[in-house]
């Protein structure tokens, strides 16, 4: 009985029991549906084991959307709890779990997955490549992310969710204050998914540096590809820090070491330093690809070249360097001294300069442009003022002395969301709508998409701007309730209404996808937006091999150059194309990683040993396996091209 007690939920409620039933019914429905329609084989062959970067990108995308709604439910629950004073919708323990899982799901499993989804789908097309450099590693990266996400979400119904905040500061995350296995889930889920992200970083650096089309020098790469390159370099330097930090935290919790303890030579501030050495570069891992998306969307819908190409590249490189030099501003109030605070206050303000360069470049691109107010362009235009407000409040927080007033209040919550939602979520929705026809061969409905934009934008302002006021008035973050005498009630009710409007906006997006699948025309052409970069030079939807003939590039806007200046993109003859085979080994390894993580969470040592042996055995098998891939003959290429009208350009 003691063995089974460890799996019990520490704070069981009717909500959790209802969730257990809902999860079980969903799993049963999926199994029955796949069996009834006889799709198990198709699902395994065409999707679960695919090494096609486009399909892997779509799997990342589906996972990110699921996590968006998973984290969104947490957000609504928090806003509902604080909507009125002394509310009892959630108790203190439940609220701690909800705000912890909200942050982790949104940052690690939604935002990261969304940007990697778009990088997977778009970057090889933008550089004229057949696939990424290491296709099987790419599939393994996805599955490690996915099983990490599933392991984390399993905590909700088995053993208890983590409750020490998404930053999981020690000693709060230690066994003295977090006795359940929830924080163990945090440690292992993030280690497993982070390993997949690190593999992605290595993969895309090699892909971009080694697999560009002839003529595409570094300074002729599209801006989204540049943002992907800089982002993945940051990933390679930042994520090992997180992995080691999480491993040290695991040893403290499960083996009694003293890295982050308050006694026996430990230092709890070591966790804060190591976490934010990763954590602040992580902000730019999310933001830089978003900047790249806006740099693709704005020129397309203003019909103008991107203003200041070289300065945009330079600003991204400067941001990537400075992102590793500002981490201490996350704990100005924790006693490191005036000199240290002054240095990091200066570097924090300094990083606003290259960011400001980008804002002016986008504004100068828009200036005198022939603007088309499409859904992607609306998100891009909405981003500029909202993100600027978030940046200005960031400069306020960068003043170390003033930070004593702002820190740990709702002002900080408002600032963070004021940067991340316009800077990342708006970009994701802009990129999703922009590249949707390239992914699926039809467009999302513009009218419905605009309704979603206005609900999300207005809801965002209502949800987070009142937090600046209540934060300056003294409302602490992470507090599950407050008294009516504080006067915070009106601001929190407005925030709740705004969060509800945002939820409606995201529901409209889901409806838009459903409506467009049913009713949108499929004959939208290969270039429905009259775009500028190379991904629009191939067919909709994209063939397995991407391009029948490798393109020859003349500029950073290769397709626009071909359309306006008569440059011929495809000069060679059709040749046999070599492509990688699908592989089931990454799926097997991911299952073993899941068992390894789950066993470690609950200290089931036979499971740890057996799954660990299985992981290393799989790695050894992969090392000695000979798979020379497959070849697509010229005749097959001609047949495929004929289906799209015989090729182009």
- How much is the pTM? 0.95
Q: How many helices (H) and strands (E) does the chain have?
A: 23, 2
Alpha carbons 438 and 538: distance in angstroms, whole number = 9
Burial of 214 (0-12, 13-18, 19+ CB in 10 A): exposed
DSSP state of 459: H
In 3D space, the residue among 293, 291, 286, 311 whose CA is nearest the CA of residue 533 turns out to be 293
The pLDDT value given to residue 3: 64
Structure tokens that stand for 353 in this block: 């300069």
Alpha carbons 68 and 329: distance in angstroms, whole number = 28
The pLDDT value given to residue 17: 79
Q: Classify each residue of 302-312 as buried b or exposed e, where b means 16 or more C-beta atoms within 10 Å of its C-beta.
A: bebebbbbeeb
Instruction: Place 37 in a pLDDT band, splitting at 50, 70 and 90.
Output: confident
The pLDDT value given to residue 647: 45
The pLDDT value given to residue 1: 46
pLDDT in tens, 48-79: 999 999 999 999 999 999 999 999 999 999 99
Domain residue ranges in the chain = 49-583+627-643
| Rg of the chain on CA atoms, in Å | 25
CATH architecture for the domain at 49-583+627-643? Up-down Bundle (1.20)
Alpha carbons 61 and 348: distance in angstroms, whole number = 32
The pLDDT value given to residue 285: 95
The pLDDT value given to residue 649: 43
At 505 the three-state DSSP class reads helix
The pLDDT value given to residue 336: 84
Alpha carbons 126 and 556: distance in angstroms, whole number = 10
Q: Which residues contact 613 (CB under 8 A, 6 or more apart)?
A: none
- Pick the range with the lowest mean pLDDT from 98-112, 179-193, 316-330, 626-640: 626-640
- Calculate what percentage of the chain has a pLDDT beyond 90: 75
> Which residues of 465-610 form beta strands (DSSP E)?
577-579
Structure tokens that stand for 71 in this block: 């984290």
Instruction: Place 2 in a pLDDT band, splitting at 50, 70 and 90.
Output: low
Q: Does position 148 have pLDDT exceeding 50, yes or no?
A: yes
What backbone phi and psi angles, to 5 degrees, belong to 632?
Answer: -95, 115
- Calculate what percentage of the chain has a pLDDT beyond 70: 99
Q: Over range 227-250, report the average pLDDT.
A: 96
Pairing status of strand 630-632 against strand 577-579: antiparallel
HSE-up (13 A, CA, CB side) for residue 529: 38
- Pick the range with the lowest mean pLDDT from 3-7, 264-268, 615-619: 3-7
Kindly give the interhelix angle for 223-255 and 268-302, rounded to the nearest 10 degrees: 160
Cα distances from 535 to residues 19, 125, 137, 375, 431, in angstroms, run 42, 5, 23, 20, 13
- Pick the range with the lowest mean pLDDT from 40-54, 387-401, 436-450, 561-575: 561-575
Q: Which residues contact 77 (CB under 8 A, 6 or more apart)?
A: 89, 90, 98
Alpha carbons 102 and 110: distance in angstroms, whole number = 10
3-state SS string over 81-122? HCCCCCCCCCCHHHHHHHHHHHHHHHHHHHHHHHHHHHHHHH
Q: Over range 110-125, report the average pLDDT.
A: 96
Instruction: Place 429 in a pLDDT band, splitting at 50, 70 and 90.
Output: very high
Q: Does position 205 have pLDDT exceeding 60, yes or no?
A: yes
- Pick the range with the lowest mean pLDDT from 40-49, 494-503, 507-516: 40-49
In 3D space, the residue among 67, 47, 63 whose CA is nearest the CA of residue 55 turns out to be 47
Average model confidence (pLDDT) for the chain?
A: 92
Q: Does position 493 have pLDDT exceeding 70, yes or no?
A: yes
Instruction: Place 476 in a pLDDT band, splitting at 50, 70 and 90.
Output: very high
Q: Which residues contact 396 (CB under 8 A, 6 or more apart)?
A: 402, 406, 415
Q: Does position 497 have pLDDT exceeding 60, yes or no?
A: yes
Q: Does position 536 have pLDDT exceeding 90, yes or no?
A: yes
Alpha carbons 353 and 326: distance in angstroms, whole number = 14
């Amino acid at each position: 009985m003691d063995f089974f007690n460890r799996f019990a939920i520490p704070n069981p409620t009717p909500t959790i029991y209802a969730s257990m039933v809902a999860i079980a019914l969903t799993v049963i429905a999926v199994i029955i549906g796949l069996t009834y329609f006889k799709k198990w084989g198709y699902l395994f062959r065409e999707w679960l084991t695919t090494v096609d970067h486009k399909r892997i990108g779509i799997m990342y995308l589906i996972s990110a959307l699921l996590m968006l709604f998973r984290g969104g439910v947490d957000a609504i629950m928090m806003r509902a709890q604080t909507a009125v004073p002394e509310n009892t919708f959630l108790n203190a323990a439940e609220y701690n779990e909800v705000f912890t899982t909200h942050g982790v799901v949104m940052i690690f499993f939604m935002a990261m997955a969304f940007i990697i989804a778009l990088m997977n789908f778009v970057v090889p097309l933008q550089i004229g490549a057949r696939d990424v450099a290491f296709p099987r590693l790419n599939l393994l990266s996805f599955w490690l992310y996915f099983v990490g996400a599933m392991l984390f979400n399993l905590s909700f119904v088995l053993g208890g969710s983590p409750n020490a905040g998404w930053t999981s500061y020690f000693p709060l995350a230690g066994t003295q204050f977090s006795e359940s296995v929830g924080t163990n889930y945090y440690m292992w889920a993030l280690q497993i998914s982070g390993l997949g992200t690190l593999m992605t970083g290595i993969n895309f650096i090699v892909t971009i540096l080694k697999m560009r089309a002839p003529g595409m020098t570094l300074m002729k790469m599209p801006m989204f590809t540049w943002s992907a390159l800089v982002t993945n370099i940051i990933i390679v330097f930042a994520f090992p820090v997180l992995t080691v930090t999480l491993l040290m935290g695991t040893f403290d919790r499960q083996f009694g070491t003293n890295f982050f303890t308050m006694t026996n030579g430990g230092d709890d501030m070591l966790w804060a330093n190591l976490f934010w050495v990763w954590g602040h570069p992580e902000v730019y891992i999310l933001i830089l690809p978003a900047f790249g998306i806006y740099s693709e969307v704005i020129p397309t819908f203003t019909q103008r070249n991107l203003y200041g190409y070289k300065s945009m590249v330079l600003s991204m490189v400067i941001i990537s360097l400075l992102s590793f030099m500002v981490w201490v501003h996350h704990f100005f109030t924790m006693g490191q001294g005036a000199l240290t605070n002054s240095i990091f206050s200066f570097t924090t303000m300094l990083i606003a300069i290259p960011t400001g360069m980008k804002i002016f470049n986008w504004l100068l691109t828009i200036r005198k442009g022939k603007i088309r107010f499409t859904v992607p362009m609306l998100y891009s235009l909405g981003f500029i003022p909202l993100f600027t407000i978030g940046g200005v409040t960031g400069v306020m927080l960068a003043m170390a002395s003033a930070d004593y007033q702002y820190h740990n209040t709702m002002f900080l919550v408002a600032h963070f969301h004021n940067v991340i939602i316009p800077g990342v979520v708006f970009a994701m929705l802009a990129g999703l709508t922009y590249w949707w026809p390239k992914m699926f061969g039809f467009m999302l409905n513009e009218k419905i998409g605009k309704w979603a934009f206005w609900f999300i934008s207005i809801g965002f302002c209502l949800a987070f701007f009142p937090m600046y006021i209540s934060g300056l008035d003294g409302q602490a973050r992470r507090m599950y309730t407050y008294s009516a005498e504080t006067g915070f009630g009106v601001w929190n009710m407005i925030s709740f209404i705004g969060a509800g409007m945002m939820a409606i906006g995201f529901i409209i997006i889901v409806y838009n996808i459903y409506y467009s699948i049913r009713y949108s025309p499929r004959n939208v052409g290969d270039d429905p937006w009259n775009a500028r970069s190379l991904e629009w030079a191939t067919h909709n939807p994209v063939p397995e091999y991407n391009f029948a003939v490798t393109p020859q590039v003349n500029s950073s806007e290769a397709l626009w150059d071909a359309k306006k200046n008569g440059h011929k993109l495809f000069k060679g003859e059709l040749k046999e194309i070599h492509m990688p085979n699908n592989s089931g080994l990454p799926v097997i390894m991911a299952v073993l990683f899941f068992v390894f993580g789950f066993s470690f969470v609950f200290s089931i040592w036979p499971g740890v040993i057996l799954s660990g042996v299985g992981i290393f055995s799989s790695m050894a098998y992969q090392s000695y396996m000979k798979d020379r891939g497959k070849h697509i003959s010229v005749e097959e290429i001609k047949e495929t091209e004929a289906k799209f009208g015989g090729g182009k350009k």
